[in-house]
Structure formats: structure tokens, C-alpha cells
Amino acid sequence: MGEYPPSVTVVHSTVVTLFPDLFRPLLEQSVFGRAVRRGLLRVDFVDLRTFGEGRHRVVDDRPFGGGPGMVLMAEPVIRAVEAARARHPRGCRTVYLSPQGRTLTQAMVRDLATAPGLVLLCGRYEGVDERALEVLRPEEVSIGDYVLSGGELAAMVVLDAVARLRPGVLGDERSPAEDSFGEGEGLLDHPHYTRPLDVRGIGVPEVLRGGNHGAIAAWRRAQALARTRARRPDLLRGRPGSPDAPAAAPPA
């Protein structure tokens, strides 16, 4: 809304892809779409095909050394990313989505959200000619150890994660700091309950039904810690008093 000057709040991203239409569902999705319409976010596209060679705008060729599949040619990728970068101020970040990248964390998302612009390069086929990466020197980011059919879904993950950190995107009553991996905590989330009180004989923890906000906060924190210890002990490593901290109560 008006209280945030656009230069501070708009994350402007340019996606370089052969398939810009794949992003339509994300851009039209309720939270993301509303933020775009309200001018809190901006997502543009550079269609790689535009930079293809010849009448057929060819962007791929067979791999030197043989093997199955095709490789995205260096020049179309270089030109497309240069065109994307030209739309952003100095200091914009270029991210190539690939399984060879550094695995995305919430800390990386928070850092990307402060960039003056993001260029997201989506590969296809077996990958991009290595010389394009050598010339462009993008940051290589993975969203996890699996192979997709292209970088587009991974780029959407980055866009969504960055977008929801922008002031006003989630709505004013919510703070991303309260979510899993939030600023303050770095813990998994606590359990949630809503009406009705009885679901197939299963009730709601008594503490949540009283109005004792201190007790509720303490219970939620204990639950978050217990879950993190049980499911993701790696997240607790290096925290003060972590390995031998007493286990919290299981859900009532």
C-alpha cells in the first residue's frame, strides 16, 4: 500500500525462459497475483526463442562428445540474459536454476529479496552450453536434489519464496517471521487447530482454548522445538544448549 515507496518494496524479476506461459498460473494465483496487481511485485519475461538463430529461431544443438538430448546454445542464452540484465539497475543478481547449484535456504531467499533486481535463467534439455555460464557467471541455485524437465518450476519456487517476504504481500496482520524458518527462530512450525473442537473424536489441546497468551506462546514454542528435534535435528545443530536440551511434551 501507500506507506511503502515502490523503489523499496518492488522486487522486479525478469525470467529468461523458452516457456513464459508456464508462469501464468503463478502470476494469477491469489496472493502472488494480488501483489503484482497492487504493484508490490513485478515479473517480466525474456523469451529465449527471440534470441534463437535463423528463420526458425533455433536455440538448441547436439552435444559435442555425443549422448542423448540437446544443449541450449551459448549465444542465445548470453544475449537473452544480457537483454534481461539491461532492464535492471546495477547490482541486479542473476540466478541459474540447476541441480548443480547451492541448495536454496530461507537465508538465501531473504538475501535475494533485498536485490535491486533478479534475473532468473531457466534451462531446458540437458543443460546450457558451459561457455554461456562462464561468460554470464550466474549464481547457480538448486531447490533440491532432484531433476526437473527445466528450470521453470524452480524459478517459480524462488519467485514465490521471495515475493511473500515483501511488505504487504501477505496482508498486514501476518509476519513471515512467524513461519517455519522465520527470522527469529529457524524452527519448524507448531501444530495448528481450528473449529470444530471435535474432529472424529480428536480434541484441541486445552491450553489453546484458554486465553492465557503467555502459556499459548510457551506451548507453541515447546512444540516447535520438539518437532524440530524429532524431524530436523540438523536445524538445531550449533544452537546454544542444543544437543542435550530436554525433549518437549508430545501433542496433547
Chain positions contacting ligand 9WO, by CB under 6 A: 97-99, 123-124, 126-127, 142-144, 147-148, 150-151, 154
Q: Which residue is nearest to ligand 9WO (CB)?
A: 123
User: Is 44 among the catalytic positions?
Assistant: no
Which of the following is catalytic: 61, 126, 183, 189? 126
Burial class (CB in 10 A: 0-12, 13-18, 19+), 159: buried
Identity of the residue, 13 or 98, whose beta carbon is nearer to ligand 9WO in the bound complex = 98
Please state, in angstroms and rounded to a whole number, the distance separating the CA atoms of residues 127 and 115.
26
For residues 9 and 42, the answer to whether their CB atoms sit within 8 Å is no
Closest alpha carbon to 111 in 87, 95, 88:
95
User: Is 126 among the catalytic positions?
Assistant: yes
* Least Cβ distance, residue 119 to ligand 9WO (angstroms): 15
Query: Checking DSSP bridges between strand 93-103 and strand 71-72, what pairing results, if any?
Result: unpaired
Identity of the residue, 52 or 152, whose beta carbon is nearer to ligand 9WO in the bound complex = 152
* Least Cβ distance, residue 176 to ligand 9WO (angstroms): 22
* Least Cβ distance, residue 197 to ligand 9WO (angstroms): 42
- How many Å is the Cα radius of gyration of the chain? 22
User: Is 152 among the catalytic positions?
Assistant: no
Catalytic residues: 99, 126, 164, 179
